[in-house]
Amino acid sequence: MVNADMETLAEQVAELIDKSQRLVVFTGAGISTESGIPDFRGKDGIWTKMDPEDFTIQRFVARPEVRKMQWKLLAEGGLLKDARPNIAHYAIAELEKLGKLDCVVTQNIDNLHQLAGNSPEIVFELHGNMQYVRCLGCHRRLPMAEIIARLSVEDLPECEHCKGILKPDAVFFGESLPQLVLSEAARRATQCDLCIVIGSTLVVYPAASIPMYAYDAGAKVVIINIGATPMDSKAAVRIEGKAGETMTKVMRQVKRKMSK
C-alpha cells in the first residue's frame, strides 16, 4: 500500500464504498482548509495569532470585553467569511445522492457540508456550528446573521427573551460536546461497515474516538489526510493527499463501478 500510486489507492477506496452498506464519513479541519478556512493547530494556525484562553467558556462568560472582542471579530467577517464548499464537500454530498452515505460526523463548525448539499439531519456536528448563536440563559438557538445585523447598534448583544448572554453555537474550551450529537455519532459509528476519515489528525478527543469506535466494531477504516494520524496502522487504505484531489479520483471510480 505504501508504494501504490494515487489512482490505485483511489480504486481501493472506491471498491470499499461500492461494497459498503453503511458508510460514515468523518471530517476534520483538513477538508475545510481547501475552502480557505485556516486550521487551528498548524504552524500558521489560528492559535499562533490569537490567545486560546479568549475562547474558553469561563473567560467568555466572565469578561464582557472578551465577548465584545469576539462579536467585533464576527461583525468583521470572522474566520469563516465567504467560505464556500470545495470539491471534497461536494463529493461527500454526492455520496448521499448515490445512496451510499449513512451520515457525516464532523469536527468542523463551518456549515460547509450542508451548503454542499448534505441533508442537515445526517450531519452530526461535534463542535457546533458558527452559523448559529445560542443563549446561555434560555438556550434559544438563533441564526448568526440575525445577531450580526444587530451589531451595527449593539457591541454586546444579549438575548431579547431573557437578557441572557449570547454565544456563538460552537464548543468553546471548557465546554462539553453536545451529548446527544456525540451519542448518536458514536452509535452510527459502531453500526457502520466503512468509516472514511478526511482531513483529521485524529488527536482531538472525544471527537477522534468516532473512527476508533467504527474500527473496534469491525468496520474498515480509510484515512485521507496530509500528515500522520494515530490510526494509520489500522487503516485498510491510507492516502497521503489533499481532500479535494483525492475525493475527485475516488468518486470517478465509484461512479464507474456503480454504472456497471
- Convert the pLDDT of each residue in 195-241 to its tens digit: 999 999 999 999 999 999 999 999 999 999 999 999 999 999 999 99
Share above pLDDT 70 across residues of the chain, in percent, rounded to a whole number: 92
Cβ–Cβ under 8 Å, residues 116 and 96 = no
- List Cβ neighbours of 121 (8 Å cut-off, separation of 6 or more): none
Active site residues: 127
CA distances from 83 to 26, 75, 217 (A): 20, 15, 36
> In the predicted model, what is the mean pLDDT of the chain?
91
Long-range contacts of 138-143, Cβ-Cβ distance < 8 Å, separation of 24 or more: 138/162, 138/164, 141/169, 142/166
pTM recorded for the entire structure: 0.92
Indicate the pLDDT class of residue 75, thresholds 50, 70 and 90.
Answer: confident
pLDDT, residue 38, reads 73
Q: Where are the domains of the chain?
A: 1-37+85-127+177-260, 39-79+129-170
Do 1-37+85-127+177-260 and 39-79+129-170 fold alike per CATH?
Answer: no
Quick: pLDDT tens for 104-149: 999 999 999 999 999 999 999 999 999 999 999 999 999 999 999 9
Cβ–Cβ under 8 Å, residues 134 and 147 = no
- Taking domain 1-37+85-127+177-260, whether its CATH number is 3.40.1130.10 is answered by no
What would the CATH number be for the domain defined by 39-79+129-170? 3.30.1600.10
Collapse the DSSP code of 6 into the 3-class scheme (helix H, G, I; strand E, B; otherwise coil) and give the result: helix
In whole angstroms, give the CA distance from residue 117 to residue 211: 23
